[in-house]
Amino acid sequence: MFCAIHNKMENQTKKILIVEDDQFLREFYEELLTAEGYTIDSAAEGETGLQKIQQGGFNLILLDIMLPKKDGLQILRDLKVSPPKVANGPIIVLTNLGNDTIINQAFTLGATGYLIKSALNPDEVLTEIHSALAKK
Amino acid sequence: MVLDSLLSIIIWLIILSNLSLCFLVYFKNHRNPVYLNLSLIAFLSSTWAAGLYFYQHSLFLSSDTWLRIVYSNVVLLVGSLFSFSFIFPLTDNKTKYILFPFIFYSLTGVFFFYTIIFTNLFLAAVNMEQNIPQQVLGPIYPFFGAWATLVCGWAAFNFYHSYRKSTGLQKLQLKYLFFGVFLFSLIPIILDIFYPIVLNNSNYIWFSPVSSIFLVGFTTYAIIRHRLMDIRIALKGIIEYVLTTILVSIAISSGTIIFWTLSKQPIKVEILYLILGISFVLTLLFSRIISLAKNISSKLFFQSVYDYQKTLKELSASLSLYLEMPKLVDIIIDVLMNTMRLSRVAVLINDFQSKHYKIEKTIGFDEYNGISLVKDNFLTTYLEIHPQVIVLDELRSVIEETPDPNEKDRLEQLYEHMIHIEAALIVPVVNTKRVISLLVLGNKLSGDPYSVQDIDLLHIIASQASIAIENARLYQEVEDLNQNLQLKIAGATNELQKKNRDLESAYQDLKVLDKLKDDFVSVVSHELRTPMTAIRSYVWMALKRADIPLSEKLQKYLSRTLVSTERLINLVNDMLNVSRLEAGRIELHPQAFSIWNLVNDVLVDIAPKAKDKDIEINVFKFPVPSVYADSNKVREVLLNLISNALKFTPNDGIIDINFAVNGSMIVTSIKDSGVGLSRDDIPRLFQRFGRLDNSYVAAATSGGTGLGLYISKSLVKLMGGEIWATSEGIGTGSTFSFTLPIATQAQVFAPKPEENLTLTQAEIQSQPTIL
């Protein structure tokens, strides 16, 4: 049982972008977060992801590192060069790599947090996302 | 008449010599004031002599005019000598004092000039007596004489003063100058001043310039040559010549006079002068004539007239040029063949390594023949005892005088040998009492025996050769050693290079393997975990979403699936951690932090699990100083240990977390009231997959991987601490402890690196949420 901590109505105003190449995981996040009442958009590879981020207007972005066409770190670099037209909320990096170097790089490039996908159960993911959204 | 001619010849020689010296000095260096002044002196001396000659022979102008010109010349000449004494040698002190003498000379000089040219006070008149001019001197003349003497004396004094103060080459130069000035002044003083004034005889004034040749000659020699003979040697040479000439001339003229007197013939002065002149010339050329005769006669009679010193000088010069044995031996053989005109020569070198002689070069001997002399060691040993030249002609008497019968026999053999191969001489070349070489000489081409001088020369040649040959030998040794060394070095270098290449390729292989491993780890990290995450996520959703109805069975099956998936994920994570730990790829980011805070942090995460089992966790408040470690890694260790404690403690249990300070370390202990450990269990705890026998049940429900403690131990060790477990026994619970270093002041106040936001830390920074 998971508890809907936040008012679903409140959540409806929040837009979240999920950039994840694995279909199952991506659709899982979509389902999970839609059920929470968030408005979800997604991209399955780096270039589309970058475009959507640059269009802007998201309250939160979940960005996978290992992506086809353009990886997460490159997207972050490109964002530094050409920032989004409309501002976005925090960017949380998703990864299964426990590599410190990559995580550090992500932070240097502007990510606010990271999740190790395999380490967390969906409850914990939700907690993290809620707190990230609330932080703003 | 003859005398007159002779004297004229001499005077003209003087004029020409002075002029040539003047040009010589001028062209040597006409920028140097010393040289300029000296050439001026030479020039004025020659014009003085010329002027007097013209005066005496009344050529071109009247004698009166010439004489006036001559006296003016003398004033200038005296002045040039005077100035020379001030400018040579150049020292600073003199320049200060030049002003007064200069003024003095200028004033007096001008005065005398005036009186010479425009008045009759200096020179009253010139009278012609029998076509020979005679001067009548005026009242000023004695003053002039005094003045000239004074000035020349002053100049001489200057030279003497400089002579006293100088050293080395300059001193020698000044000695020459001094002598020159002395003679130069002495003769004119006698002929030009003393004779005319005191004896009223002016007949010799025109001869006085002869003295100039001394001054000019000595001075030019002194200035131009860089290395001067000692003046005594120079004077000695001159005096020898002069004495010889005088003695021979006197002898010849006395002889002639006696002959004439005895034969009652009149003494013809002209012939006497002629004979004197010829004897004079002959004496001068005498030594040259003798060496010419010697050369001719020696060429006629094949005599090896050689110049000892010259031969040796050339030999040493040549020997010192080379270090290669063949070249040296060539030189020695050349010298021997050429100076002594030999028919045969052989040079044998003693090779100490093989203890045999080697024929380095022979001319005229058969190789075999030369070597046969040294077939055994007899000759060498004999020569080392008697380091003499063995002369065939004398060998007979040496044999007869030898007491030892063995030696006698051997010497007889040697004698036969030498006759057989036509060797006349054996010269040992000895160095530090060892025979290093033998020179075997045949007869001279002329057939003459070897003279005492020859043997002496050979001794000297042998000693020179000994040094050269020894040097060549040593040089050869050094060369050989060098080559050897180089070969060895080349060999060693090759081997090293080969090893290097092997190492390099092994390294490349390792790098490839390493990369493969890295790739593998990445692949496993990502590729393996992605589907696992998907499985877990969907199973979780299936279980947890309220809008999906599930039967009990399905619930159970899905639960187990979820648990198994969690276990799998944990196992993969742990194995990846272990792999990274073992490869040393774990980066630590140590900082100073409070472990108490971290523990409480971890407990927040753990709280739900603890609540599920109703286990109470207590953290003892303790004023713990900061530790210096990687907080993320410490968090992992704490999670591991506390989870274990929870796993192995039954419901309603207690877990106590304690701290202590031990030296420079902080001890953190986690004590549980769980199943405890037996003594056998403890050693295996921190190994990989070290499972406890009775723990499968707990493991199945809690998802342990068997790697947790191993990872914790590795991490704690990396951070400089220790980890251990204690237990009273089964059923009494266990205590797991680890140590971490206390942060130093510097570490506490070091700027904190940006903290990696882990999950729960981000949570802490946000608004508190209720789980």
Of residues B526, B540, B770, nearest to A97 (C-beta): B526
Write down the pLDDT at residue B230: 65
Q: State the DSSP H helix or E strand holding residue A92, giving kind and residue range, or none if neither.
A: strand A91-95
* A32/B765 CB distance under 8 A: no
* A107/B754 CB distance under 8 A: yes
Q: Tell whether B160 lies on the interface with A, counting CB pairs under 8 A.
A: no
Pairing between β-strand A91-95 and β-strand B665-672 as defined by DSSP bridges? unpaired
In this prediction, what percent of chain A has a pLDDT beyond 90? Answer: 35
Q: What average pLDDT is seen over chain A?
A: 85
Write down the pLDDT at residue B526: 73
Q: Tell whether B26 lies on the interface with A, counting CB pairs under 8 A.
A: no
Amino acid at B553: K
Q: How far apart are CA B469 and CA B475, in angstroms?
A: 10
Displacement of CA B611 from its chain's centroid (Å)? 87
Q: How far apart are CA A58 and CA A42, in angstroms?
A: 11
* A66/B534 CB distance under 8 A: no
Closest chain A residue by Cα to residue B540: A122
Query: What angle (nearest 5°) sits at the alpha carbon of residue B455, between those of residues B450 and B458?
Result: 120
Closest chain B residue by Cα to residue A101: B587
* B587/A119 CB distance under 8 A: no
**Token couple for B665:** 């370390």
Are B710 and B648 in contact, with CB atoms under 8 Å apart?
no
Closest chain A residue by Cα to residue B522: A97
Q: Tell whether B768 lies on the interface with A, counting CB pairs under 8 A.
A: no
Q: Tell me the residues of A at the B interface, defined by beta carbons under 8 Å apart.
A: 1-2, 5, 22, 24-25, 28, 31-32, 35, 66, 96-101, 103-104, 107, 112-115, 117-124, 127-128, 130-132, 134-135
Among residues B525, B533, B751, which one has the least CA distance to residue A103? B525
Q: How far apart are CA B79 and CA B112, in angstroms?
A: 12
Q: How far apart are CA B750 and CA B297, in angstroms?
A: 108
Of residues B525, B536, B763, nearest to A98 (C-beta): B525
Inter-chain contacts counted by CB atoms under 8 A, chains A and B: 94
Residue B310: HSE in the Cβ half-sphere, 13 Å Cα cutoff: 5
- Chain B hits for A98, Cβ within 8 Å: 525, 573, 576-577
Give the 3-state DSSP-derived string for B137-170, with helices as H, strands as E and coil as C.
ECCHHHHHHHHHHHHHHHHHHHHHHHHHHCCHHH
Among residues B24, B41, B30, B108, which one has the least CA distance to residue B80? B41
- pLDDT block averages, 10 residues each, chain B of length 771: 70 81 79 84 88 80 82 88 81 65 85 81 75 76 85 84 80 78 80 78 75 77 68 71 76 82 76 75 78 80 63 85 87 86 86 77 75 72 83 86 85 85 88 87 85 86 90 88 94 93 93 82 78 90 84 90 87 82 80 90 88 89 88 91 89 91 92 86 79 50 70 92 91 92 84 51 38 32
Closest chain A residue by Cα to residue B542: A1
- pLDDT band for A5, please (50, 70, 90 cuts): low
Write down the pLDDT at residue B737: 94
**Token couple for B444:** 């001279």
Task: Report the gap between the CA of A124 and the closest CA in chain B (Å).
Answer: 9
CA dist list (Å): B716 to A117, B216, B565, B665, B719: 26, 105, 28, 12, 5
Which residues does B198 contact at the CB level (< 8 Å), separation at least 6? none
Of residues B541, B589, B771, nearest to A28 (C-beta): B541
- Chain A hits for B561, Cβ within 8 Å: none
* B762/A128 CB distance under 8 A: yes
Q: How far apart are CA B603 and CA B63, in angstroms?
A: 142
- pLDDT band for A49, please (50, 70, 90 cuts): very high
Write down the pLDDT at residue B245: 73
Q: State the DSSP H helix or E strand holding residue B627, giving kind and residue range, or none if neither.
A: strand B627-629
* B534/A22 CB distance under 8 A: yes
Of residues A100, A119, A122, nearest to B537 (C-beta): A122
**Token couple for B479:** 């060369």
Q: Tell whether B573 lies on the interface with A, counting CB pairs under 8 A.
A: yes
Rama region for A110: left / alpha / beta (φ>0; ψ in -120 to 50; rest): left
**How large is the average pLDDT for residues A12-25?**
88
Stated pTM of the model: 0.42
Closest chain A residue by Cα to residue B757: A113
Task: Report the gap between the CA of B548 and the closest CA in chain A (Å).
Answer: 11
Window 630-689 of B, Cβ < 8 Å to A? none
Q: Tell whether B536 lies on the interface with A, counting CB pairs under 8 A.
A: yes
Amino acid at B411: L
Q: Tell whether B760 lies on the interface with A, counting CB pairs under 8 A.
A: no
CB atoms within 10 A of CB B102: 14
